[in-house]
Homo-oligomer: A and B are copies of this chain.
Amino acid sequence: MSLELPIGAPRDCGDCQIRHRAVCARCDVDELAQLDEIKYYRSYEAGQTVIWSGDQMDFVGSVVTGIATLTQTMEDGRTQMVGLLLPSDFVGRPGRDIAPYDVVATSDIVMCCFRKKPFEAMMEKTPHIAQRLLQMTLDELDAAREWMLVLGRKKAREKIASLLAIIARRDATLKLANLQGKMEFDLPLTREAMADYLGLTLETVSRQISALKRDGVISLEGNRHVTVHDMDRLLEEAGDDSDGGILV
Protein backbone atom coordinates (compact mmCIF):
# COMPACT_ATOMS: atom_id res chain seq x y z
CA MET A 1 0.00 0.00 0.00
CA SER A 2 1.55 3.27 -1.01
CA LEU A 3 -0.88 5.66 0.64
CA GLU A 4 0.49 9.14 0.74
CA LEU A 5 1.45 10.19 4.26
CA PRO A 6 -0.01 13.50 5.40
CA ILE A 7 2.63 16.18 5.89
CA GLY A 8 3.77 16.10 9.46
CA ALA A 9 3.15 12.38 9.93
CA PRO A 10 6.24 10.40 10.94
CA ARG A 11 7.64 7.72 8.65
CA ASP A 12 7.35 5.18 11.44
CA CYS A 13 7.01 5.03 15.22
CA GLY A 14 10.76 5.37 15.71
CA ASP A 15 10.56 8.79 14.07
CA CYS A 16 7.50 9.91 15.95
CA GLN A 17 7.79 13.18 17.88
CA ILE A 18 5.01 12.38 20.30
CA ARG A 19 5.97 8.78 20.82
CA HIS A 20 7.24 9.21 24.37
CA ARG A 21 4.19 11.12 25.55
CA ALA A 22 1.34 9.41 23.67
CA VAL A 23 -0.79 6.43 24.56
CA CYS A 24 1.86 4.15 23.08
CA ALA A 25 4.63 5.57 25.27
CA ARG A 26 5.20 2.38 27.22
CA CYS A 27 4.91 -0.01 24.31
CA ASP A 28 7.87 -2.17 23.28
CA VAL A 29 8.88 -2.92 19.71
CA ASP A 30 6.53 -5.88 19.37
CA GLU A 31 3.60 -3.91 20.60
CA LEU A 32 4.40 -1.01 18.30
CA ALA A 33 4.46 -3.45 15.40
CA GLN A 34 1.03 -4.67 16.39
CA LEU A 35 -0.25 -1.14 16.62
CA ASP A 36 1.22 -0.42 13.23
CA GLU A 37 -1.13 -3.01 11.75
CA ILE A 38 -4.22 -1.14 12.81
CA LYS A 39 -3.13 2.42 12.43
CA TYR A 40 -3.39 5.07 9.75
CA TYR A 41 -2.69 8.78 9.54
CA ARG A 42 -5.25 11.36 8.70
CA SER A 43 -5.09 15.11 8.42
CA TYR A 44 -7.72 17.77 8.88
CA GLU A 45 -7.72 21.41 7.95
CA ALA A 46 -8.15 24.25 10.41
CA GLY A 47 -11.82 24.69 11.18
CA GLN A 48 -12.79 21.19 10.12
CA THR A 49 -14.84 19.05 12.47
CA VAL A 50 -13.03 15.80 13.18
CA ILE A 51 -15.88 14.12 15.04
CA TRP A 52 -19.48 15.22 15.51
CA SER A 53 -21.13 14.72 18.86
CA GLY A 54 -23.60 11.85 18.56
CA ASP A 55 -21.75 10.17 15.72
CA GLN A 56 -20.58 6.61 15.66
CA MET A 57 -16.89 6.44 16.48
CA ASP A 58 -14.93 3.81 14.67
CA PHE A 59 -11.49 4.97 15.58
CA VAL A 60 -9.54 6.31 18.50
CA GLY A 61 -6.22 8.06 18.15
CA SER A 62 -3.61 10.63 19.04
CA VAL A 63 -3.08 14.18 17.92
CA VAL A 64 0.35 14.21 16.24
CA THR A 65 0.61 17.86 15.25
CA GLY A 66 -1.68 20.86 15.59
CA ILE A 67 -4.39 21.77 18.04
CA ALA A 68 -7.96 20.56 18.37
CA THR A 69 -10.77 21.30 20.81
CA LEU A 70 -13.43 19.27 22.55
CA THR A 71 -16.70 21.17 22.84
CA GLN A 72 -20.25 20.72 24.04
CA THR A 73 -23.14 22.71 22.62
CA MET A 74 -26.56 23.34 24.10
CA GLU A 75 -29.70 23.43 21.99
CA ASP A 76 -29.76 27.21 21.95
CA GLY A 77 -26.19 27.39 20.74
CA ARG A 78 -24.27 28.16 23.92
CA THR A 79 -21.03 26.23 23.73
CA GLN A 80 -18.43 25.27 26.27
CA MET A 81 -15.03 23.91 25.49
CA VAL A 82 -14.27 20.94 27.73
CA GLY A 83 -10.86 19.97 26.45
CA LEU A 84 -7.91 21.36 24.54
CA LEU A 85 -6.13 18.67 22.57
CA LEU A 86 -2.42 19.18 22.00
CA PRO A 87 0.09 16.94 20.28
CA SER A 88 0.21 13.54 22.03
CA ASP A 89 -3.29 13.88 23.51
CA PHE A 90 -5.66 11.00 23.05
CA VAL A 91 -9.07 11.17 21.37
CA GLY A 92 -11.89 8.71 21.92
CA ARG A 93 -12.80 6.27 24.58
CA PRO A 94 -12.31 2.53 24.34
CA GLY A 95 -15.62 0.85 25.03
CA ARG A 96 -17.80 3.71 23.86
CA ASP A 97 -19.47 3.85 20.46
CA ILE A 98 -21.09 7.27 20.38
CA ALA A 99 -19.02 10.43 20.57
CA PRO A 100 -20.27 12.69 23.39
CA TYR A 101 -18.47 15.84 22.20
CA ASP A 102 -17.53 17.66 19.03
CA VAL A 103 -13.87 17.48 18.15
CA VAL A 104 -12.82 20.44 16.01
CA ALA A 105 -9.44 21.17 14.46
CA THR A 106 -8.33 24.64 15.56
CA SER A 107 -5.25 24.54 13.35
CA ASP A 108 -4.34 22.10 10.61
CA ILE A 109 -3.80 18.82 12.39
CA VAL A 110 -2.49 15.31 11.78
CA MET A 111 -3.98 12.42 13.70
CA CYS A 112 -2.61 8.95 14.26
CA CYS A 113 -5.76 6.80 14.22
CA PHE A 114 -6.31 3.25 15.40
CA ARG A 115 -9.27 1.20 14.27
CA LYS A 116 -11.39 0.96 17.38
CA LYS A 117 -12.30 -2.73 17.56
CA PRO A 118 -8.78 -4.08 17.19
CA PHE A 119 -7.45 -1.36 19.50
CA GLU A 120 -9.88 -2.43 22.20
CA ALA A 121 -8.91 -6.04 21.68
CA MET A 122 -5.27 -5.15 21.98
CA MET A 123 -5.87 -3.17 25.18
CA GLU A 124 -7.23 -6.27 26.84
CA LYS A 125 -4.03 -8.11 26.13
CA THR A 126 -1.31 -5.51 26.55
CA PRO A 127 -1.34 -3.77 29.93
CA HIS A 128 1.17 -1.20 28.72
CA ILE A 129 -1.49 0.60 26.76
CA ALA A 130 -4.10 0.54 29.49
CA GLN A 131 -1.55 1.69 32.05
CA ARG A 132 -0.47 4.64 29.98
CA LEU A 133 -4.05 5.54 29.13
CA LEU A 134 -4.89 5.50 32.83
CA GLN A 135 -2.07 7.92 33.58
CA MET A 136 -3.17 10.22 30.78
CA THR A 137 -6.79 10.10 31.85
CA LEU A 138 -5.89 10.91 35.44
CA ASP A 139 -3.90 13.89 34.21
CA GLU A 140 -6.84 15.06 32.14
CA LEU A 141 -9.12 14.69 35.12
CA ASP A 142 -6.81 16.89 37.16
CA ALA A 143 -6.79 19.48 34.40
CA ALA A 144 -10.59 19.34 34.19
CA ARG A 145 -10.85 19.93 37.94
CA GLU A 146 -8.49 22.85 37.75
CA TRP A 147 -10.79 24.31 35.09
CA MET A 148 -13.83 23.76 37.23
CA LEU A 149 -12.30 26.17 39.75
CA VAL A 150 -11.62 28.67 36.99
CA LEU A 151 -15.12 28.37 35.56
CA GLY A 152 -16.97 28.38 38.83
CA ARG A 153 -15.13 30.83 41.00
CA LYS A 154 -12.85 33.16 39.10
CA LYS A 155 -13.68 36.60 37.75
CA ALA A 156 -13.23 37.46 34.10
CA ARG A 157 -9.82 39.06 34.60
CA GLU A 158 -8.59 36.10 36.63
CA LYS A 159 -9.90 33.71 34.01
CA ILE A 160 -7.93 35.41 31.26
CA ALA A 161 -4.81 35.55 33.40
CA SER A 162 -5.23 31.85 34.21
CA LEU A 163 -5.49 30.92 30.55
CA LEU A 164 -2.44 32.97 29.64
CA ALA A 165 -0.55 31.31 32.50
CA ILE A 166 -1.51 27.86 31.27
CA ILE A 167 -0.41 28.61 27.74
CA ALA A 168 2.84 30.20 28.95
CA ARG A 169 3.53 27.18 31.13
CA ARG A 170 2.92 24.76 28.30
CA ASP A 171 5.08 26.77 25.97
CA ALA A 172 7.87 26.85 28.55
CA THR A 173 7.91 23.09 29.08
CA LEU A 174 8.05 22.67 25.33
CA LYS A 175 11.04 24.97 25.00
CA LEU A 176 12.55 23.78 28.28
CA ALA A 177 12.59 27.40 29.40
CA ASN A 178 11.75 28.32 32.96
CA LEU A 179 8.71 30.09 34.27
CA GLN A 180 10.01 33.38 35.54
CA GLY A 181 10.25 36.97 34.49
CA LYS A 182 9.49 37.81 30.88
CA MET A 183 7.80 35.30 28.58
CA GLU A 184 6.64 35.42 24.99
CA PHE A 185 4.29 33.14 23.08
CA ASP A 186 1.54 32.94 20.48
CA LEU A 187 -2.09 32.40 21.39
CA PRO A 188 -3.29 29.25 19.70
CA LEU A 189 -6.92 30.35 20.06
CA THR A 190 -9.19 33.07 18.69
CA ARG A 191 -10.99 35.36 21.14
CA GLU A 192 -14.13 33.33 20.58
CA ALA A 193 -12.38 30.05 21.37
CA MET A 194 -10.90 31.63 24.49
CA ALA A 195 -14.40 32.73 25.48
CA ASP A 196 -15.71 29.21 24.96
CA TYR A 197 -12.91 27.87 27.07
CA LEU A 198 -13.49 30.31 29.92
CA GLY A 199 -17.25 30.54 29.96
CA LEU A 200 -17.25 34.18 28.89
CA THR A 201 -18.39 36.18 25.88
CA LEU A 202 -15.81 37.16 23.31
CA GLU A 203 -16.43 40.82 24.16
CA THR A 204 -15.49 40.26 27.78
CA VAL A 205 -12.36 38.39 26.71
CA SER A 206 -11.38 41.29 24.51
CA ARG A 207 -12.04 43.85 27.23
CA GLN A 208 -10.05 41.98 29.85
CA ILE A 209 -7.11 41.46 27.54
CA SER A 210 -7.16 45.19 26.83
CA ALA A 211 -7.28 45.86 30.56
CA LEU A 212 -4.29 43.62 31.28
CA LYS A 213 -2.46 45.43 28.51
CA ARG A 214 -3.44 48.85 29.87
CA ASP A 215 -2.25 47.81 33.33
CA GLY A 216 1.13 46.76 32.01
CA VAL A 217 0.79 43.05 32.78
CA ILE A 218 1.14 42.05 29.12
CA SER A 219 1.80 43.55 25.70
CA LEU A 220 0.45 42.45 22.35
CA GLU A 221 2.02 42.37 18.94
CA GLY A 222 -0.79 41.83 16.49
CA ASN A 223 -3.71 39.92 17.98
CA ARG A 224 -1.96 36.71 18.74
CA HIS A 225 1.54 37.36 19.99
CA VAL A 226 1.70 37.98 23.73
CA THR A 227 4.52 39.21 25.95
CA VAL A 228 4.13 38.65 29.66
CA HIS A 229 6.42 41.11 31.42
CA ASP A 230 6.52 39.37 34.76
CA MET A 231 5.23 35.88 35.24
CA ASP A 232 4.75 36.29 38.99
CA ARG A 233 2.55 39.29 38.39
CA LEU A 234 0.45 37.29 35.95
CA LEU A 235 0.02 34.47 38.46
CA GLU A 236 -1.09 37.01 41.04
CA GLU A 237 -3.67 38.28 38.60
CA ALA A 238 -4.82 34.71 38.06
CA GLY A 239 -5.49 34.34 41.76
CA ASP A 240 -3.17 31.35 41.98
CA ASP A 241 -0.52 30.87 44.61
CA SER A 242 2.73 32.26 43.34
CA ASP A 243 4.25 28.78 43.42
CA GLY A 244 2.26 27.91 40.36
CA GLY A 245 -0.71 26.27 41.96
CA ILE A 246 -1.66 23.73 39.36
CA LEU A 247 -0.84 20.12 40.28
CA VAL A 248 2.44 19.16 41.76
Contacts and interface: CB of A to CB of B under 8 A. Distances in A.
B80 A153 contact: yes
Contact of A152 (B70, B93, B151): B151
A38 interface: no
A238 B78 CA distance: 13
A148 B149 contact: no
A87 interface: no
A88 B146 CA distance: 23
B83 A145 contact: yes
B142 A140 contact: no
A145 B144 contact: yes
Contacts of A16: none
A150 to B, nearest CB: 9
A199 B134 contact: no
Interface residues of A, number: 41
B239 A199 contact: no
B138 A148 contact: no
A127 B127 CA distance: 6
Among A79, A127, A149, A199, find the residue whose CB has the most chain B CB atoms closer than 10 A: A149
A46 interface: no
A206 interface: no
A144 B148 contact: yes
A82 B137 contact: no
Nearest to A126: B127
Contact of A134 (B70, B137, B147, B247): B137
Contact of A153 (B79, B83, B95): B79
Interface string A66-109: 00001010111011101100000000010100101100000000
Given A131-B130, A133-B134, A152 B74 contact: no
Given A100-B142, A130-B127, A145-B82, A241 B153 contact: no
27 contacts: A74-B149, A74-B153, A74-B239, A75-B241, A76-B239, A78-B153, A80-B148, A80-B152, A82-B145, A82-B148, A82-B149, A83-B145, A100-B145, A100-B248, A101-B145, A130-B130, A133-B134, A134-B134, A141-B141, A141-B144, A144-B145, A148-B151, A151-B151, A151-B199, A152-B198, A152-B199, A153-B199
- Which 3 residue pairs spanning A and B have beta carbons closest together? A152-B199, A151-B151, A82-B145
